Structure formats: structure tokens, C-alpha cells
Amino acid sequence: MRNKQTIVAIVPAAGVGSRMQHNAPKQYIQLAGKTILEHTLTKLSQLPQLQTIVVALSDTDPYFDELPLTDARIVRSSGGKERADSVLNSLLFLAPNPPDWVLVHDAARPLVDLADIERLISECLSANEGGILATKVKDTIKRGDTHSKQTVPRDDLWQALTPQFFKYNELKDALQNALQSEVAITDEASAIEWVNKPVKLIAGRSDNIKITTPEDLALAGFLLNKQQNESAV
């Protein structure tokens, strides 16, 4: 029987939200009565298997300490220039007492379904292999070049979501390797792929959207209200 595996969540929340064109970082926009970051942390706080919840924040973030957070597992680490740097900084923050696994989840994805996260963790622990939530592409995909065949075959195309769940040591080594090699890393899985390790794709709900541009807010607000009403029943 494998010893109980320890799991720590890392929440990248150090972005400026430039595409949102808002006067504060998008993770602090209020939707359905709370900031987006609070919604995300409230979701993760419902997972008892998380030993700690590390939130990567800008060192000049003036908002976080004002949030009415009650989960004692929540701690802050320093964000970095890019999302991958924020994640690596959080991994290094954990180095004195490293967990077995880390669950990396965007602050900007408050709508994530808890059952999807539970399934991701369960399937990866059973296989002893890292993986990510992903959703199969539903639209026809075009490549930007207007002077050649544009349509991309989509039968095996998936859209990567978060959480992304990997062994602490593997992710730390992969991210350090990829960043030192100046490889473009936009998610944890791309670093794991860089070091030629497998990534399980676990089908997740397509409404686990990353709130990115202004038109995402109305949909996210509606869905957050719907989730809150359903959980209140």
C-alpha cells in the first residue's frame, strides 16, 4: 500500500490581466458577491486532501491581505515575470518541506468543477503519472496563415485547462530545465513534455473557463451565481 501521498495546491495569481483592460488585476474583479480569486480559493478549500494552498502573488499586490479568507492552509508566495516563473517560485517556496504532488490551478478559473478535480487526482495517483484537465475542441480550428490551407484537423485536439497535477520533483526539474532552455512554457504540461514525460489528458467540463477578456465576465458571473444557488440547496 503506497503511503498517503501529500498534495499542495499552487494558485498562480500574480498576473496583471492586461487583456481584461480593467483598472485592477482581473483576479480581484467582483463577480457574484466575491472577487474571482476568492471564488477560486473557496472552491479549492473544499478539497480536504490539500495540505497547503500556495497563492503566487505580485510582491506589490495591495489587495490580497484585504480578502476575508478563513482557510488556514492558504499562504502566499512571490509571483514572477511570467506564469511559469510564478509557478516555479512557488515550487521553490515549498522546497524546505516538499509535497509528493502539486495541483496547479489558475486563479482565473473559478468555475472549475470539484468532481473534475477529484477525478484528475484519482486517475493520476492510480496511474502514478501526472495529468491535466482538458476539453476536446468543439469548433473548427484555423491556422492564422491566410495564404495556405488553414483548417487544422481537430479529431485529436484538446484545449488544456487547469488544474494540472504533477509530482513535485518532476515539475520543479522540468520547469527549471525548460526555463533555462528558454522554451515557451504556457502551462505545466508543456514543461513536462519538454523533458519527454507523459501527460494524461483527463476530460473536464468546458465551462471551466479562464476569465481573460471583458466578454468572459457576464458568462462567468452567470455561472458563478448558478453554482452558488445550486450549492445552497
Ligand X SMILES: Nc1ccn([C@@H]2O[C@H](COP(=O)(O)OP(=O)(O)OP(=O)(O)O)[C@@H](O)[C@H]2O)c(=O)n1
| Contacts with ligand X, residue ranges (CB under 6 A) | 12-19, 27, 56, 79-83, 86, 106-108, 210, 212
Tell me the residue type at 102: V
**Residue 160 binds which one of ligand X, ligand LQXTBERG, none, with CB within 5 to 8 A depending on kind?**
ligand LQXTBERG
Query: 103 near 40, Cβ under 8 Å?
Result: no
Binding mask 99-138 for ligand LQXTBERG (x = CB under 6 A): -------x--------------------------------
Pick the closer one to ligand LQXTBERG by CB: 159 or 228: 159
Q: Is residue 50 exposed (0-12), middle (13-18) or buried (19+ Cβ within 10 Å)?
A: buried
Q: Closest distance between ligand LQXTBERG and the C-beta of residue 217, in Å?
A: 15
Minimal distance, residue 191 CB to ligand X, in Å: 14
For residue 49, what is its C-alpha cell? 486532501
Closer CB to ligand LQXTBERG, residue 74 or residue 107?
107
162 binding partner (options ligand X, ligand LQXTBERG, none; Cβ < 5 to 8 Å by kind) = ligand LQXTBERG
* Phi, psi values for residue 34, rounded to 5°: -140, 165
Bridge partners of residue 141, in order along the sequence: 152
Select from 112, 106, 108, 83 the least CA-distant residue to 31: 108
Strand arrangement of the beta sheet that strand 101-104 belongs to: 74-78, 50-57, 7-12, 101-104, 158-167, 131-136, 200-203
- 10 Å Cβ neighbour count for 217? 17
Q: Which residues are CB-neighbours of 87 under 8 A, at least 6 positions away?
A: 10, 12, 56, 104, 171, 175, 188
- Indicate which of ligand X, ligand LQXTBERG, none lies near residue 56 (CB less than 5 to 8 Å, by partner kind): ligand X
Contact window for ligand LQXTBERG (CB under 6 A) among 50-58, 155-163, 215-223, 225-233: 155-163
Residues contributing to the site for ligand LQXTBERG (CB under 6 A): 83, 106, 160-162, 186-187, 210
